[in-house]
Amino acid sequence: MKNRLSRIIKKDGRTLMLAVDHGYFMGPTTGLEKFDETVNPLIPYADALMLTRGALRNYVDPSNDIPIILRVSGGTSIIGKELLHEGIIVSIEDAIRLNASAIAFSIMVGADFERDTILGLTQYIDDAERYGIPVLAVTAVGREMKRDAKYISLASRMAAELGAHMVKTYYVEGFEKVVESCPVPIVIAGGKKIPEQDALKMAYDAIQAGAAGVDMGRNIFQSSNPVAMIKAVRAIVHEGATPKEAFDIFKEESKG
Ligand code: R5P
């Protein structure tokens, strides 16, 4: 377990996870239509790759040694009626066969189906613990839920108490409180595409508040220059860059 975690969270206690699992409920997400063309150039700058087994099988060269965070929850789509009602979509045996360094499972705290998703998470944690595989709990937020520090703290702490080894959640005002009350490393999702400068500021603020890093997708792969953007995010996560320094890196790298 510690060995797998150390492959993802580096010696500085930080991590840059590249989230490209969106296809499991969004299909050919903008920027990922030709998955390998977008993602392969980004891999050298990411500490871990979060994706589905289908994307791993079809698009990623197996000789690539980047740690894999395998999405194992899903079952609903963005056009269906029950987006928040996810269940288990990959067996632990297949996760092991695919050499996952960690697995990712979404829980929907406060939604109609929270119980199903939470019991799915705990069942998967039991399976993963048996083989020393860490679990990243993804705290998804429904449209009707208020995205504030109180809610995010509740969902994150619950995930940790239920046995998750890492938590992925959204950055909110007062994020220090979320981090303080969560005993496992927290990473933030990027969310919908926003201007590069704003996304870099959000990553910086999260790190300043104590986050272990980011699990960012659209704000990297939908950027006008994804490689420049991941380099800029990396500077914030691992090199202590300020948002301005990181944005300068983005601009400079974009020129090339
Ligand atoms: C959503 O549950 C997916 O796991 C995405 O990977 C996640 O939202 C992170 O990607 P983004 O930074 O695009 O929000």
Residue among 32, 19, 23, 120 at smallest CA distance from 68: 19
Q: What pLDDT is attached to residue 117?
A: 95
Pocket test residue of 90, 135, 215 for ligand 1, highest count of atoms within 8 A of CB: 215
Q: Which domains does the chain have, with CATH numbers?
A: 2-255 (3.20.20.70)
Please work out whether the CB of residue 21 comes within 6 Å of at least one atom of ligand 1.
yes
Structure tokens at 102: 């960690």
Structure tokens at 118: 């939470």
Structure tokens at 19: 């989230």
Q: What pLDDT is attached to residue 82?
A: 76
168 labelled catalytic: yes
Whole-structure pTM value: 0.96
Q: What pLDDT is attached to residue 76?
A: 87
Question: Distances from the Cα of 155 to the Cαs of 84, 115, 159, 182, in angstroms?
Answer: 14, 13, 6, 10
Q: What pLDDT is attached to residue 146?
A: 80
Please work out whether the CB of residue 20 comes within 6 Å of at least one atom of ligand 1.
no
Q: What pLDDT is attached to residue 143?
A: 67
pLDDT per residue as tens, the chain (256 positions): 999 999 999 999 999 999 999 999 899 999 999 999 999 999 999 999 999 999 999 999 999 999 999 999 998 888 887 777 899 999 999 999 999 999 999 999 988 889 999 999 999 999 999 999 999 999 977 666 788 999 999 999 999 999 999 999 999 999 999 999 999 999 999 999 999 999 999 999 999 999 999 999 999 999 999 999 999 999 999 999 999 999 999 999 999 6
Please work out whether the CB of residue 213 comes within 6 Å of at least one atom of ligand 1.
no
Closest residue CA from atom 1 of ligand 1: 22
Which of 168, 201, 251, 255 is catalytic? The answer is 168
What is the rounded distance in angstroms from the CA atom of residue 125 to the CA atom of residue 104? 10
Pocket test residue of 20, 21, 35, 105 for ligand 1, highest count of atoms within 8 A of CB: 21
